[in-house]
Structure 1
Amino acid sequence: MDARSGFLTHYLYSGPRLSPFEHEQTDKNQIRYEQYLRSIIADKVELAPVLAEEIAIGAESPLGQPWQYLYPCSGFVNFNLFSYTLQKVELLAAAALTVAEDLTVRANVWTYTAIDIWLNGSKVSSAANPVYKPIMKQEIELPLRKGSNTLVIMLQNLAVRDTRNIFGIQLLEHLDRITAGLPDAAAAEPYLKLDQWLSEITLTGNELLLPPDPPCAVYIAYGEGIDPAAAKDITGLRRVAVEQSEAEALIYGIVDGKRLSRQIELLHNRVPVYRSVADTSEAKAAVFEELAAIGATGSFEPLRFGLFYVLARWNLGKAGANDHLHISRAIEQIERREDCSDFHLAGLLRLMDIHKLPAELEQRAEQAILNYRYWMTENGSDGMCFWSENHALMFYICAYMAGSRYPDRHFVRSGRSGSEVKAVALGRIRDWLTDVECWGFEEFQSTDYMCVTMGALLNAVDYMEQDEAERAAALIDVIIKSFASHAFRGSIVTPQARIYRSVILPFTQAAQSLMYLLKPDAPAGNSEWLAFLMNSRYQLPYQYAELMDKPLDIEYPTGNAWVKLYKQPRYLLTSVQSPRYDAAPVYWDNISFEEYADIESNEYVKSFNERFHGTTRFEPGVYGYQQHMWYAALDNDTVLFTNHPGELADEVGMRPGYWYGNGIMPAVKQQGSTLGAIYAIGEEHPVAFTHLFFPEAKLDSSLHDGHWLFGEKDGGYAAIWCSEPLQPYHDKLFHCEYRAYGRLAAYLCKLGSVDEFGSFEQFQARCRELAPQFDARSMQLSAGEFGVVQYVYSSNKTQYV
C-alpha cells in the first residue's frame, strides 16, 4: 500500500481475457454507438466468481487463465491496450487486507470499466457501465473483520481503440491500522520480496546501485526484449556499470519460472543521431533508402506499416522477399475495417496507382476498396475513429481516390457509384481545407499526427485537380514552416495538441524527419509517411530552413489555441495560453450537442473531435487529453516542462499519460522568457500531484535550493520555482523528475543566458529577486515585473464519453 496516497499496490490477477464482440446495433453517431455498446458489454454478476481459498498463484481462474503476481503496480491495476476491432475484456484481481480488530474503512474505487468488488464473498461495490473518460469515482465502505480479508475484483470492458482497462482502490483512513497483502500469502512472499528489492535500485552517474541480499538470482539485460543468452548474472553485486551505448536496462529476477523485471531508461545515453550527408538531396535519398530497407529481408514479420515500406522499395525499383505478404496483411486490415485501416488504404491506393499488383492481390484489393466503410454514417459497425482531424481527411481522400479509380462500380456501404462517392468526398475535402485555412490546425504541431495529415495532403496534391492540389500543398507548407519556427538546434520543441512520450526527447519525434530533410545537419529522423513524398509533385519548402536557427518572438492562433514562442540562441520557451490572453479572442463553437446539427457537416465532425479527444479550447480546470502545454529548452535533447499526469506511473500507455497530456488543464501565461502555470486538481481526479521534467543528467550543472531548481547548459540558464516543495522521484527515469504533492500548485519558469545575465550565479540571484508568490485564495501567481497569472475556472462542461 502506498503510505502517502492510500492506494493498494499489490494484487494477484488473472487475464485479461479478450473475445470478439459483435452486435447488430448500428448508429450514425459513433460516440453514441460506442456508449451503447459499453452499456451492454458487462454481464451482471452477483456472486463472487471465486472463493478466497481458490485463489492460488499458478492455479487457473474462472477465466481459464492462471493467477499471477502483478508487477509493477503503482496503485492502478492497468491493462490499458489498443484494440483495432471490437472485443470484450474480462479481468479478475484479488488483494488482502489484515487488521488486528474489526474495522470499517472508507475507500474510493476509481475505474473506467464496469467493475464488481466482493469483500469476503459479499459484494461491496458495482459499476455497470464503462466509460472512456473521465475516470469514475465511487466511495464505498469496507467492513473488515479481525484477521485477513480478501478482496475479489471483476473487471469487464468494451475494447475499442485505446481501451482503459484500469481500476484502483484507495483507502481513505486508518492506514496505520491496516496491512495490505495478498491471498495465497506464502506463495506470494518471494514475489513481494523481489518487488521490494527491485524498487530499491538507484542510479548514480553511469552506475546502478543494487540493494543487498536479493531473494533470488538477478540479472541485467539491455534493450526492449530480454535475451537470456545476453543477460548477465549480477547476483551479489552492489554496483554495476551500465553500458555507455545502451538506452535501456532491464534488471530482473525469476520466481517459480516467472520473471519480474524493472525497466530503467538510461536517458544520459539517449542522444541525437546525425548523418554525414553533403546536401538536402543526399539527405532525402538516405531517408528513402532507410525506409526501403525495413522488412526487406529475412522471414516475414508483420509490421504496422509494412505496405508503406513496400511502397518505398517499389518506388526505388527494388523488391523484398515478403512484399506480397505485407500487401496482403494491409488488405486484410482494410477488409476487417480495423482502426487506422484508413492509413493502410491511403497507402494501398497510392501503391496501386503507381505499380501493378499481382492478379490475386489486385482482386482482393478491389473488393476491399468497394466494401469499405468510408464514413461513420455509412452502413456497418466497427471501432474505427473517423472524426479526428487527421482521420477525417484521410477517409475523405481515400473515398475520393477510390471513387476515381472505380467510377462505375457499386460501393457497398454507401450504396453509391464510384462517381457519386468521389463527388461527396470532394465536397468534404473542400470543406476541410477551407476550415483549416480559416482557423488553423486543431492537432496543431503534433509531431506524430501532423505526419499523418501530411500523408493525406500529399495524396490530395498528387491525385486531385489543380485547385485542391495547390491548397493541399500550401497547407503542407504551413506545417513545415511552423515546425521550422519551433526548431531549436535542429529539434522540434513546441506545444502540441496531441503528443506521446517522445515529448521528453524531442529529437525522437516523428516529424523530426522533416527538419532533417530541410537542414541535414539537424538530428536525423524518419517517418513511414515520408514514403508518400517519393514520386510526389510536392516540393519541400527549403526556404524555411533559415527559421530553424533564427531568433523569434511570435504568437499566433491555431484552432481555438493561442501559441507563444520566444527563441534565442541559447534557449527557447513556448506555450499555449490558458485561457487565451489575446485582446479579442475568437473561438469556433462546438455544435456536437445540438440536436439538429448536420452530422455530415465538417463543423459537426470538428466539434465531435473536440468532444472526444479533449479540448482545443485551452482553459484551466478542463479535463485534458494529449495536449502539451509548455516547453523550455536549453539544447536539442534537453527540455523542461510540467504537467498533471493522467496516471500514477511512467509509460503504461494511457492518454493522457505520465509525461504527456494533462489530467486537468492548468492556467498558463507566458511573457517573453518567463512563464507561470497554476494547477488546481479537483477531488474527482485520482492523481493528486503535479510534476516537473528536469533531466539533470543532460545539464552541465544544476542546483536544488528550497522551492527553486536551477540548471545550465552551454551558456543557457533555466530556473523553476514551485509553491510546493519539489521532491525528487525515480521511476523508469532517474534524476529527471520532481513532484509537487497536493492538488494545488503554482510554477514559475525563467530562462536566460550568459549573454544576458553573466554568470550562472548572477542569473540565480536575479531570479530570486522576482520573489514569486502564490495566493491560494485569489488563485493568483505573481513575480516581480512578470505580472500576474490568474486562475479562472472554466465554464466549459466536462463531457463524458
Structure 2
Amino acid sequence: MTTGKNMLTYSPLQLRHRVINRWLLSGILTRKVRFEPMTMEGDINDWLIKGFSIHENPCRKEFVGERRAAAPELPFAAPPALGEGISLWESEARWNLYFPWGNSRVEASGFYYVPTHLLRYAYTVVVSPAAHKATFNLKTCGAAALWVNGRLACDFTPFTRNIEQTTQVEVELRAGENPFFVCHEDLAERDTLYHFTLEYAGSEPIEIQIPLTDSEPAEAVAGMEQALGRAYFPKDSVKDEELRIIFEASFNRDLTFDVTYNSFFDGRYSIRRELKAGQQHLVLGHTNEFGVDYKYFELSVQVGKATIRKPFGIEVYNTRFQPHNGEAMTVEERKRVALECVAALGIPNIHTAIAKLKTGGAPEIARDMILEGLAGIRERRDCADFYLIALFRFWRDYRDSGLFDEDFWAQIKRTVLGFRYWIDEPGDDVMWFFSENHALLFHSCQLLAGQLFPDDLFTNSGETGAQRKRKAERQLTGWFERFFAEGLAEWNSSAYIPIDFLGLIQLYDLAERPALREQAKQAMDLLYSYMTAEAHGGYLTSTFGRSYEKELMGNHAAGTTSLIWVGYGAGNVNSTSFNVSVCLSDYTPPQAFAERLKLNSEEELEFRLEQGKDGYAKLFHYRTSSYVMSSIADFRAGLKGYQEHVLHLAFSPEAQVWVNHPGEIYAHGSGRPSFWAGNGCLPKVGQYKGLGILLFDIDPDHDAGYTHAYFPAYAFERVESRGSWFFGERNGAYAAVYAQNGLELTQEGTNRGRELVSKGRRNVWLVRAADRQEFGSFEKFIESMLKMPIEASAEALRVRLADFVYGETSFGWQAPLTVNGETVQIKDCGVQGRLVRKGRVASHI
C-alpha cells in the first residue's frame, strides 16, 4: 500500500489471493420482507451431516425468482464521496472505507432474526498501465452485479444460501483509471454469510485507488488502521478487573473512541472512551459493569470523514455472587444464589424478568422486559421459542397475583394463540426448526399452549388448544424415542445443552401427562450424566457438536457451567438467564454423579460414547485430576465443516488448547465455522488417553491455507518453543503441541501470544498432555517429547511415533489409530456411554 494526499493505493498483486478488497462501501441497506406463508418438511437432524442448505425456506425461492426477473440498475451518475449519505426503501447509510482486517472477502456476515433484504454498493478505482482484457473471478454469497466503466459486466445471481459460488468475468480495462461498481444483495435468514470477492486473475501490475476527501490525510487513515490492527486484549478472559485494550504504541494526541458492545443474545449498547496522548491502554470499564458474559466490543474512531471500526471479543466475569464454598451448600441454596445472580446481572429478557420477580424485583421492570419479549415472539424472530417457553410458567405463577393488568395478560394470550408452532403450519418467517433443541422447544411450547387454552382457536393453524395438545404429545413421544436411541446429535454442545433444559424442565414441571414428565426427568438425568463425566473442575471443556467462540473462550459464563454449579457446587455461578426455570423447579440432578467430578492424582477416567443418527459421533473423553482431553473419532475427515469442535485439551477454564482449520481468516467474525469455532475443512482425529493426533487435508480453494492452535501462553506458568514443538506448564500439568510443517506464535494483533500457526494445506498435528504423575518435571516432559521418535509425513498424511508412556502409535488418512498393535475403537457404547475409572500407573521416566 502507498498513500497520497487524497488517495489510498494498493496493489492486489502483492496480496496472497490477488483480491480487490479495498472499496468505498455504502453500508447495508435493509428492508424486512413478507412472503406467501408456506409449510416445510424434513428431518430435524439430517442437516448436521448433509449441510444446512438442504432445508431451503420457501420464501427464499420467491425472493430469488423476483430478483432474477429484474435487471439490476446502477443508480449513480457520479462517483460516491466518503461520508456521503445514501438511502433506499426506508433505510439510510453512509459511504465509508472498507477495512478487511486480513479478510480476503468484502464481508458483512451477521445474524438476522426475520427475513431481511440486504443490499449494498461498493466502489473502487482500478488503475491499469495499459488497455487490455482482464479476467476476474467473482465469488459471492448472495448475488453480485458488476459494472466497469459504466457498463454492466456481470449479473451473477446464484443465491445459494450461505454457500459461496464463483463465476469468471472478462472486462475491457482502459489505460489509466477504471471505475468499478458492485451491487451486492441477498435475503438474510438468521445466520447469514454475506460477502463477495473480486479476485484478479491477470498479470498486469494494476493498482487499486480509493479516493479520500481533504479532511483525512491518507497517512492518518493508514496509520490508524495499522494501530487498530495491532491492538489487543492481553487476555481472553478477565475477572474482577478493568478491561483494557492495548495499543503497541501511544498516540501524540488525545483520541475519542465510540465503543459498542453486545453479547450473543443481547442488544447493542454504546459508550465513549478517551485515550490520552502518550497512553497505550484504553480502559473500557470494569467487569462489574458488564455482568458475567462473553462480550463483543467494537471500537470506532473518526479520521476526517472516515470511520474505522475494529471488533474485539472477551469474556468478562465478576465474583460478586460466588460463594466461598458452593459444594457445602444445598442444591436449593445454590439455586437461590443463581436466581439472584441472573436477576442482578442477566441480560434483559423474559427469563431474567421472572428471576427479578422471584427475588423481589420491581414488577414494572419485569413487565417491560416481558412486553419486549412478546414483540419478538409475535414477529416470529428466530429463537422466539427460547422465550415463549417461559411464558407458561409465568402464567401459572403470576396470573392471579394482581401484579399486572388485564391488558397485559391479554397480550400474552394473543401472542400464544397466534404463534407458528411447527413447519407443517404456514409461515414466511426464518425461525429455525431443524435441530433437536428447537424441535423440543417448539413441541413443548405447543403442548403447554394447548394445555393452557384447550378451547381457544390457534389462529395460525386453525386448530383448538385441545387439538394442539394431542399433536404435541405425539411429537414429543417421537422426540423422546429418538433422543433415548440417538442421544445428542449436537453432541456435548455447551451452547445447546442449556437450551435442551429449557424444554425439558418445563415438561417436567408443567406437562399434564405423567409419562412426559418422567421422560423429561430421565433426559435431564442423562444430560447431567454426560456433563459430570466430561466436566473438568466444573467446566464442560470438551469436543462439541456445535461450538461458538463465546463458549470456547467463555467457560465461566457458559450455560453448562451454571447447570453444573447449581447441581454440585463445582466451578462457578453465572448469570445465564436460560437456566432460570431449572432454579425454580424442584428437579434435582442425581447427587451420586458428584463423585464423577472428583479424581485424585492417582486416578484416571475414560468415557466412551456414541451419539447422533446411527451413532455417527464416536466420542472419547480422558480425564485426570490435572487435565482433560476430549475428541470425536474420524468424523467426516476432509469434508467441509460447520461448527464441529473436534479435539479439546483443558487444564483450567483459561488454560486450554485446541487445533482447527479456520472457517474464516479473521478473528471475531460471524461465520459458521468461524476463526476459532469449528473447521473450514474437517481433520481426521484420533486420540489415545492424553495423546491427540489430527491430520488435515485442506480444500485448495479455501481462503485459509493453514491450520492453527489456540494456546494462550498467558494462562500457563511457563511456555517453551522448540522448533516444531510448543510446550506449556500449568500447576504441575503439561501440554505439548507439534506440527509437522512447523509452528509460529502470533506476535501482534488480536491473537497475540495465543495462536500457533502452521502453514500448509496438508499437515500432521500432535497434542500431548501429561503431568508429574507421568513425567515428574516439566523439563523431563520436554526432553521426552523432543527425543520421542516420530515419523510424520504431511504429504502422505500419516504418522508413527513411540511415546515413552503409551508405546508405539500409528495413524493415517487411510489407516486407523493403533497403539502397540491394537486398534483404538469406540463401539458398543451407545448413548449411555461406557465410563471407566481406574488407577494410573506412575511412569519411571
Query: Under TM normalisation by the shorter chain, which class is it?
Result: 0.7 to 0.9
- Using the alignment, how far apart are the partners of 1:384 and 1:549 within structure 2? 41
Assess, with a 3 A threshold, how the Cα gap between structure 1 residues 271 and 623 changes in structure 2: closer, same or farther: farther
- Using the alignment, how far apart are the partners of 1:249 and 1:383 within structure 2? 27
Matched, 1:469 2:524: no
Give the superposition deviation at 1:185.
7.3
Give the superposition deviation at 1:723.
1.9
8 Å Cα contact 1:642-1:693 kept in structure 2: yes
Q: How does 1:199-348 map to 2 (within 5 A)?
A: 199-201=229-231, 208=246, 210-211=248-249, 217-218=254-255, 224=261, 227-228=271-272, 230-234=273-277, 236=278, 240=281, 253-256=301-304, 259-263=307-311, 274-277=322-325, 278-280=328-330, 281-294=332-345, 306-316=349-359, 318-348=361-391
- Using the alignment, how far apart are the partners of 2:584 and 2:690 within structure 1? 43
Out of 95, 109, 121, the position equivalent to 2:150 is: 121
TM-score (norm 2): 0.81
- Using the alignment, how far apart are the partners of 2:125 and 2:597 within structure 1? 57
Out of 781, 784, 798, the position equivalent to 2:799 is: 781
- Using the alignment, how far apart are the partners of 1:544 and 1:577 within structure 2? 26
Give the superposition deviation at 1:5.
3.4
Q: How does 1:513-528 map to 2 (within 5 A)?
A: 513-528=562-577
Matched, 1:366 2:413: yes
Out of 218, 221, 225, the position equivalent to 1:195 is: 225
Provide the secondary structure at the position in 2 that maps to 1:492: coil
Question: Could you tell me which residue of structure 2 aligns to residue 400 of structure 1?
Answer: 447
Give the superposition deviation at 1:424.
1.0
TM-score (norm 1): 0.85
Question: Could you tell me which residue of structure 2 aligns to residue 70 of structure 1?
Answer: 98
Out of 575, 578, 600, the position equivalent to 2:631 is: 575
- Using the alignment, how far apart are the partners of 1:220 and 1:554 within structure 2? 49
Out of 738, 742, 748, the position equivalent to 2:756 is: 738
Provide the secondary structure at the position in 2 that maps to 1:367: helix
- Using the alignment, how far apart are the partners of 1:334 and 1:530 within structure 2? 19
Structure 2, unaligned stretches of length 5 or more?
A: 1-11, 42-54, 236-243, 262-268, 288-294, 816-845
Q: How does 1:384-463 map to 2 (within 5 A)?
A: 384-463=431-510
User: 198-207 or 753-762: which moved more?
Assistant: 198-207
Question: Could you tell me which residue of structure 2 aligns to residue 602 of structure 1?
Answer: none
Provide the secondary structure at the position in 1 that maps to 2:628: strand
- AA aligned opposite 1:751: A
Question: Could you tell me which residue of structure 1 aligns to residue 766 of structure 2?
Answer: 748
- Using the alignment, how far apart are the partners of 1:271 and 1:719 within structure 2? 31
8 Å Cα contact 2:345-2:575 kept in structure 1: no
Assess, with a 3 A threshold, how the Cα gap between structure 1 residues 775 and 481 changes in structure 2: closer, same or farther: same
Identity, % of aligned positions: 22
Cα deviations across residues 404-425 of structure 1 (Å, max 9, x unaligned)?
A: 1122222222232221211111
Out of 6, 18, 23, the position equivalent to 1:11 is: 23
Out of 180, 203, 211, the position equivalent to 2:208 is: 180
Q: How does 1:524-673 map to 2 (within 5 A)?
A: 524-550=573-599, 551-559=604-612, 560-578=616-634, 618-673=635-690
Question: Could you tell me which residue of structure 1 aligns to residue 3 of structure 2?
Answer: none
- Using the alignment, how far apart are the partners of 1:635 and 1:260 within structure 2? 36
Assess, with a 3 A threshold, how the Cα gap between structure 1 residues 433 and 372 changes in structure 2: closer, same or farther: same
- Using the alignment, how far apart are the partners of 1:671 and 1:293 within structure 2? 44
Give the superposition deviation at 1:191.
2.5
8 Å Cα contact 1:42-1:129 kept in structure 2: no
- Using the alignment, how far apart are the partners of 1:476 and 1:202 within structure 2? 40
Give the superposition deviation at 1:375.
0.8
- AA aligned opposite 1:770: M
Provide the secondary structure at the position in 2 that maps to 1:496: coil
User: 621-630 or 738-747: which moved more?
Assistant: 738-747
Assess, with a 3 A threshold, how the Cα gap between structure 1 residues 226 and 181 changes in structure 2: closer, same or farther: farther
- Using the alignment, how far apart are the partners of 2:313 and 2:751 within structure 1? 6
Assess, with a 3 A threshold, how the Cα gap between structure 1 residues 425 and 259 changes in structure 2: closer, same or farther: same
Q: How does 1:72-87 map to 2 (within 5 A)?
A: 72-73=100-101, 74-87=103-116
Assess, with a 3 A threshold, how the Cα gap between structure 1 residues 265 and 78 changes in structure 2: closer, same or farther: same
- Using the alignment, how far apart are the partners of 2:299 and 2:37 within structure 1? 48
Question: Could you tell me which residue of structure 2 aligns to residue 510 of structure 1?
Answer: 559
User: 431-440 or 783-792: which moved more?
Assistant: 783-792
Cα deviations across residues 114-173 of structure 1 (Å, max 9, x unaligned)?
A: 111223333344321322233223344455443333322211110221122222233356
Give the superposition deviation at 1:792.
5.1
Cα deviations across residues 235-283 of structure 1 (Å, max 9, x unaligned)?
A: x55x55979967999876421265425455678x979884325513432
Give the superposition deviation at 1:394.
0.5
8 Å Cα contact 1:407-1:419 kept in structure 2: yes
- Using the alignment, how far apart are the partners of 1:46 and 1:89 within structure 2? 14
Provide the secondary structure at the position in 1 that maps to 2:375: helix
RMSD over equivalenced CA pairs, Å? 3.1
- Using the alignment, how far apart are the partners of 2:245 and 2:428 within structure 1? 53
Cα deviations across residues 86-124 of structure 1 (Å, max 9, x unaligned)?
A: 121101112333343345554433321111122333334
Provide the secondary structure at the position in 1 that maps to 2:531: helix
- AA aligned opposite 2:225: D
Give the superposition deviation at 1:341.
1.4
- AA aligned opposite 2:443: Y
Assess, with a 3 A threshold, how the Cα gap between structure 1 residues 193 and 100 changes in structure 2: closer, same or farther: farther
Out of 54, 58, 79, the position equivalent to 1:54 is: 79
- Using the alignment, how far apart are the partners of 1:527 and 1:212 within structure 2? 38
Assess, with a 3 A threshold, how the Cα gap between structure 1 residues 472 and 529 changes in structure 2: closer, same or farther: same
Structure 1, unaligned stretches of length 5 or more?
A: 296-302, 579-617, 794-801
Give the superposition deviation at 1:25.
5.6
Provide the secondary structure at the position in 2 that maps to 1:663: coil
Q: How does 1:128-207 map to 2 (within 5 A)?
A: 128-141=157-170, 143-172=172-201, 174=203, 177-184=205-212, 189=218, 190-201=220-231
Give the superposition deviation at 1:82.
1.7
- AA aligned opposite 1:710: F
Give the superposition deviation at 1:433.
0.5
